[in-house]
Amino acid sequence: MNYFSSDFKLGILGGGQLGKMLLFDTRKFDIQTYVLDPSDEAPSRMACNQFFKGDLMDFDTVYQFGKLVDVLTFEIELVNLEALEKLEDEGLKIYPSPKTLRKIQNKGTQKDFYTEHGIPTATYKRFNDLKSLVVQILDSKLKMPFVWKCTEFGYDGNGVKIIREIADLDNLPNVECIAEEMVPFKNELAVIVCRNPSGEIKTYPVVEMEFHPEANQVEYVICPARIDEKVAEKARAIALNVSQNFNHVGLLAVEMFQTHDDQIIVNEVAPRPHNSGHYSIEASYTSQFENHVRAILDLPLGNTDSKVAGIMVNLVGEEGFSGNVVYKNIEKILGWYGVTPHIYGKKETRPFRKMGHVTIVNENMTEARKIAEDVKNTIRVISK
Stretch that binds a copy of itself, among 21-29, 134-142, 158-166, 218-226 (CB under 8 A): 21-29
Q: Which of 8, 24, 63, 352 binds a copy of itself (CB under 8 A)?
A: 24
* Secondary structure class of 161 (helix, strand, coil): strand
Q: Which of 27, 117, 164, 186 binds a copy of itself (CB under 8 A)?
A: 27
Half-sphere exposure of 98 (CA within 13 A, CB side): 22
- The four Cα atoms 227, 233, 237, 243 give a dihedral, to 10 degrees, of 50
Q: Which of 80, 105, 286, 314 binds a copy of itself (CB under 8 A)?
A: 286
Q: What share of the chain is helix, strand, coil (3-state, %, to 5)?
A: 30, 30, 40
CB of 375 to a copy of itself, least distance (A): 13
59 contributes a contact to a copy of itself by CB under 8 A = no
State the Cα–Cα distance between residues 238 and 224, nearest whole angstrom. Answer: 17
Contacts with a copy of itself by CB under 8 A: the residue count is 45
- DSSP-assigned beta bridge partners for residue 357: 314, 342
DSSP secondary structure letters along 1-30? ---TTSS-EEEEE--SHHHHHHHHHHHHTT
- DSSP-assigned beta bridge partners for residue 150: 177
Which residues lie closer than 8 Å to 357 by C-beta, 6 or more apart? 275, 278, 312, 313, 314, 315, 341, 342
361 contributes a contact to a copy of itself by CB under 8 A = yes
Is the CB of residue 194 less than 8 Å from the CB of residue 297?
Answer: no
Which residues lie closer than 8 Å to 293 by C-beta, 6 or more apart? 10, 22, 25, 26, 29, 31, 299
CB of 168 to a copy of itself, least distance (A): 38
State the Cα–Cα distance between residues 344 and 367, nearest whole angstrom. Answer: 26
37 contributes a contact to a copy of itself by CB under 8 A = no
Which residues lie closer than 8 Å to 86 by C-beta, 6 or more apart? 63
- Phi and psi at 362, nearest 5°, equal -165, 150
Stretch that binds a copy of itself, among 22-30, 80-88, 108-116, 180-188 (CB under 8 A): 22-30
CB of 264 to a copy of itself, least distance (A): 29
Q: Is the peptide bond before 145 cis (omega within 30 degrees of 0)?
A: yes
Among candidates 232, 233, 234, which has minimal Cα distance to 222? 232
195 contributes a contact to a copy of itself by CB under 8 A = no
285 contributes a contact to a copy of itself by CB under 8 A = yes
Q: Which of 53, 152, 341, 350 binds a copy of itself (CB under 8 A)?
A: 341
Is the CB of residue 63 less than 8 Å from the CB of residue 41?
Answer: no
238 contributes a contact to a copy of itself by CB under 8 A = no
Q: Which is nearer to a copy of itself, 157 or 199 (CB)?
A: 199
Stretch that binds a copy of itself, among 91-99, 145-153, 264-272, 337-345 (CB under 8 A): 337-345
Amino acid in the structure at residue 288: Q
Stretch that binds a copy of itself, among 158-166, 214-222, 227-235, 295-303 (CB under 8 A): 295-303
CB of 338 to a copy of itself, least distance (A): 5
34 contributes a contact to a copy of itself by CB under 8 A = no
Q: Which of 118, 184, 213, 300 binds a copy of itself (CB under 8 A)?
A: 300
**Does residue 182 have a known ligand-binding role?**
yes
**Does residue 183 have a known ligand-binding role?**
yes
Q: Which of 67, 212, 260, 307 binds a copy of itself (CB under 8 A)?
A: 307
Stretch that binds a copy of itself, among 143-151, 181-189, 266-274, 301-309 (CB under 8 A): 301-309
State the binding site for ATP.
107, 149, 180-183, 188, 267-268
Task: Summarize as ranges the residues that interact with a copy of itself (CB under 8 A).
Answer: 2, 4-5, 20, 23-24, 27-30, 46-49, 285-286, 290, 294, 299-303, 307-308, 325-327, 330-331, 334-335, 337-347, 361, 363
